[in-house]
């Protein structure tokens, strides 16, 4: 009998060990796969960056290179005493190997282009009161490819999300994506980091919030407890966060070891491109045919125009041209516009069809009794100006989840006053309920929590109408929020009230809105 118990104990122990090893190696395999995927994407961005037209111009940021190598990168990095992520990590060693393995021409192009961008990176970060070392985020996340678009739809040198960009004043729509403009991206990145700094009071947490989402980091802090350090948070954050830190640390050390010294006179500013106002819709191809400027040059100078289409037909748009081409464009603009070809503007976005959520039989039918195991259903009352992306960020869910749960095919058609369902983790439901600002209490059913928001201002301030009256023509992609930001002291609610607009999503490009400016 004793022998039987002994072997039984040995069998159970072996089973537990086998299960543990299976989970360990399964987890390690997933981590390794994620790392390879991120590194492959970064490597692709480096190659695309290195093919930019500027590198075929001998006058672009000329200088000399000096390569370096460290036998003990961890020690060298730790001695830098950086204000963020000051302790070298294992992932950083892996990423540094990737940086060092770049072909010579790609390595030199990376150094040269980062040097060219570094001045305005530093300028924006200093203006925001942030450490200039944050500029190394760009080569870490995008490989300095200004046209980089990640699998998560982040874009540009700093891989800004759609809503990080829009909430910091950038235009992002079907034709224009200002995240792809290096200077505008740097400005928005600094603004977003400044906001995060005020939220977390810690630059490392702020940077993790930028990459993972503030809600995700706040949840990790709540779970880890007050006084938690970065390592404790990383155990609770998505594994991509560790890769991000490793890539960032490797970028810092790479640029410290490898130097680029400009040959140009520091007192002589490099030629700035010419700029012209374009008041009609025009395609890059029309300009190249008349002025002889290559398409790649126009893309390099104007990366924000996603399809080479300049939407100047609603409101004049600035177009950058190589130095010396401004007068040519002004003189020959009629010839440029006359080259119009409708096929150049046939940009059609494919319609994505999503399957109905469980409990639905037909598209357009509301969800009935939808439940998700481990989730609590919140009722969110939509208010004027609400955007699915902002709601998704606040509740740490995806826009596609919101569409799926609520059978929303077009997010522009959501209406103030109606409610939508949001499913959150059971353990976090109470926190979300406390974070809400309800105007009335409704008794929830079972695990259903009802959240409502205060309605917007009931009336516009009459005194505003005594001020200066101006007319604003709505551009493609504009909302009451972005319009209000252009006028000092004006709020989105003012815009809606003054123009008797009930649904903010019904404003159209070309529509004229009244704005009252205070004296």
Domain ranges (residues) in the chain: 31-262, 274-345, 375-451, 462-517
Nearest CA-CA partner of 156 in 284, 53, 56, 45: 45
Element (H, E) at 332: helix 326-338
pLDDT digits (tens, 9 = 90+) for 315-338: 789 999 999 999 999 989 889 988
Secondary structure of residue 372 in the 3-state scheme? coil
Q: Could you give the CA distance from residue 165 to residue 161 in angstroms, rounded to a whole number? A: 6
Domain 31-262 fold: Lysozyme (1.10.530)
pLDDT at 125 over 80: yes
pLDDT at 452 over 50: no
Q: Could you give the CA distance from residue 18 to residue 120 in angstroms, rounded to a whole number? A: 55
The predicted pLDDT at position 440 comes to 32
pLDDT digits (tens, 9 = 90+) for 457-477: 334 444 454 567 788 888 877
Maximum alpha-carbon separation in the chain: 103
pLDDT at 420 over 80: yes
Q: Could you give the CA distance from residue 6 to residue 324 in angstroms, rounded to a whole number? A: 89
Question: Which residue spans within 209-353 are E strands per DSSP?
Answer: 259-262, 274-278, 281-283, 309-311, 317-321
| Residue range 462-517 in CATH 3.10.350.10 | yes
Token pair in block for residue 436? 């809400």
pLDDT level of residue 497 (50, 70, 90 thresholds): confident
Would you call 76 exposed, middle or buried from its count of C-beta atoms within 10 A (0-12, 13-18, 19+)?
A: middle
pLDDT level of residue 8 (50, 70, 90 thresholds): low
Buried-state track 311-335, b at ≥16 Cβ within 10 A, e below 16 = bbebeebebbbbeebbebbeeebee
The predicted pLDDT at position 389 comes to 75
Element (H, E) at 471: strand 468-473
Among 183-187, 203-207, 509-513, which stretch is predicted with the lowest mean pLDDT? 509-513
pLDDT at 21 over 80: no
- Contacts of residue 262, defined as CB under 8 A and 6 or more positions apart, other chains included, come to 61, 62, 63, 115
Q: Could you give the CA distance from residue 406 to residue 400 in angstroms, rounded to a whole number? A: 10
pLDDT digits (tens, 9 = 90+) for 56-68: 887 787 888 888 8
DSSP 55: G
Q: Which of 209-218, 411-420, 461-470 is predicted most confidently? A: 209-218
- Mapped to the 3 state alphabet, what secondary structure does 86-101 carry? CCCCHHHHHHHHHHHC
CATH number belonging to domain 375-451:
3.10.350.10
Secondary structure of residue 233 in the 3-state scheme? helix
Over pLDDT 90: what percentage of the chain? 39
pLDDT digits (tens, 9 = 90+) for 381-411: 888 777 787 787 778 787 777 887 888 877 7
Nearest CA-CA partner of 275 in 222, 203, 327, 204: 327
Average pLDDT, the chain: 80
Angle between helices 90-100 and 240-257 (to 10 degrees): 50
**Residue that wins the pLDDT comparison between 114 and 12:** 114
DSSP 226: T
pLDDT level of residue 519 (50, 70, 90 thresholds): low
* The two domains 375-451 and 462-517 share their CATH topology (first three levels equal): yes
pLDDT at 34 over 80: no
Long-range contacts of 186-190 (CB under 8 A, 24+ apart): 186/117, 186/120, 186/121, 186/124, 186/138, 186/157, 186/158, 187/124, 188/158, 188/160, 188/164, 189/124, 189/134, 189/137, 189/158, 189/160, 190/124, 190/125, 190/127, 190/128, 190/130, 190/134
Q: In the predicted model, what is the mean pLDDT of residues 268-292? A: 86
Token pair in block for residue 22? 């299976």
The predicted pLDDT at position 394 comes to 77
Nearest CA-CA partner of 84 in 210, 195, 266, 181: 210
pLDDT at 123 over 60: yes
Q: Which of 132-141, 221-230, 402-411 is predicted most confidently? A: 132-141
pLDDT at 450 over 50: no
pLDDT digits (tens, 9 = 90+) for 349-362: 443 333 444 444 33
Among 97-111, 235-249, 446-460, which stretch is predicted with the lowest mean pLDDT? 446-460
Element (H, E) at 513: strand 512-517
pLDDT level of residue 447 (50, 70, 90 thresholds): very low
Long-range contacts of 409-417 (CB under 8 A, 24+ apart): 409/354, 409/363, 409/364, 411/387, 412/505, 413/505, 414/382, 414/386, 414/388, 414/505, 415/382, 415/503, 416/382, 416/383, 416/384, 416/385, 416/386, 416/502, 416/503, 416/504, 417/381, 417/382
pLDDT level of residue 312 (50, 70, 90 thresholds): confident
pLDDT at 20 over 50: no
Among 112-116, 272-276, 481-485, which stretch is predicted with the lowest mean pLDDT? 481-485
The predicted pLDDT at position 453 comes to 42
Angle between helices 214-224 and 203-212 (to 10 degrees): 120
Q: In the predicted model, what is the mean pLDDT of residues 428-437? A: 62
pLDDT level of residue 33 (50, 70, 90 thresholds): low
- Contacts of residue 170, defined as CB under 8 A and 6 or more positions apart, other chains included, come to 160, 178, 179, 184, 185, 188
Q: Could you give the CA distance from residue 8 to residue 2 in angstroms, rounded to a whole number? A: 10
pLDDT level of residue 272 (50, 70, 90 thresholds): confident
Q: Could you give the CA distance from residue 519 to residue 509 in angstroms, rounded to a whole number? A: 28
Over pLDDT 70: what percentage of the chain? 78
Among 97-101, 208-212, 271-275, which stretch is predicted with the lowest mean pLDDT? 271-275
């Amino acid at each position: 009998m004793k022998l039987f118990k002994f072997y039984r104990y040995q069998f159970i122990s072996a089973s537990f060990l086998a299960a543990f090893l299976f989970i360990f190696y399964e987890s390690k395999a997933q981590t390794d796969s994620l790392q390879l995927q991120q590194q492959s994407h970064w490597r692709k961005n480096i190659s695309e960056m290195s093919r930019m037209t500027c590198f075929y111009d001998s006058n672009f940021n000329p200088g000399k290179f000096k390569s370096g190598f460290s036998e003990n990168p961890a020690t060298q990095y730790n001695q830098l005493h950086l204000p963020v992520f000051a302790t070298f990590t294992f992932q950083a060693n892996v990423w540094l190997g990737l940086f060092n393995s770049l072909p010579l021409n790609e390595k030199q192009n990376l150094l040269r282009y980062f040097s060219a961008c570094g001045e305005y990176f530093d300028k924006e970060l200093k203006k925001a009161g942030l450490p200039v070392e944050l500029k190394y985020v760009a080569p870490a996340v995008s490989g300095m490819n200004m046209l980089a678009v990640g699998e998560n739809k982040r874009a540009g040198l700093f891989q800004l999300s759609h809503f990080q960009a829009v909430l910091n004043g950038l235009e992002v729509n079907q034709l224009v994506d200002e995240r792809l403009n290096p200077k505008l991206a740097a400005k928005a990145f600094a603004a977003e980091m400044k906001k995060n700094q005020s939220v977390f009071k810690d630059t490392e947490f702020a940077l993790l919030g930028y990459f993972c989402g503030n809600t995700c980091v706040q949840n990790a802090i709540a779970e880890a407890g007050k006084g938690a350090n970065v390592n404790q948070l990383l155990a609770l954050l998505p594994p991509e966060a560790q890769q991000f830190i490793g890539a960032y640390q490797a970028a810092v050390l790479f640029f410290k070891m490898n130097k680029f010294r400009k040959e140009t006179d520091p007192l002589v500013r490099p030629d700035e491109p010419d700029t012209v106002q374009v008041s009609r819709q025009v395609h890059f191809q029309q300009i190249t045919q008349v002025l002889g400027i290559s398409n790649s040059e126009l893309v390099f100078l104007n990366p924000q125009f996603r399809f080479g289409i300049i939407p100047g037909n609603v409101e004049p748009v600035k177009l950058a041209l190589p130095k010396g081409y401004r007068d040519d464009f002004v003189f020959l603009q009629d010839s440029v516009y006359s080259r119009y070809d409708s096929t150049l503007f046939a940009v059609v976005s494919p319609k994505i069809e999503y399957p109905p959520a469980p409990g639905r039989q037909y598209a357009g039918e509301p969800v009935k009794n939808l439940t998700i195991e481990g989730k609590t259903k919140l009722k969110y009352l939509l208010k004027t100006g609400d955007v699915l992306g902002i709601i998704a960020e606040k509740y740490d869910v995806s826009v596609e989840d919101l569409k799926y749960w609520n059978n929303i095919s077009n997010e522009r058609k959501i209406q103030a006053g109606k409610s939508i369902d949001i499913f959150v983790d059971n353990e976090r439901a109470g926190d979300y309920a406390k974070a809400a600002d309800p105007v009335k209490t409704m008794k929830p059913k079972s695990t259903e929590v009802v959240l409502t928001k205060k309605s917007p201002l009931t009336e516009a301030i009459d005194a505003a109408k005594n001020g200066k009256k101006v007319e604003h023509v709505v551009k493609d992609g504009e909302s009451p929020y972005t319009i209000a930001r252009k006028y000092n002291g004006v709020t989105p609610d003012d815009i809606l009230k003054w123009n008797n607009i009930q649904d903010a999503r019904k404003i159209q490009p070309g529509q004229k809105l009244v704005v009252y400016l205070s004296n």
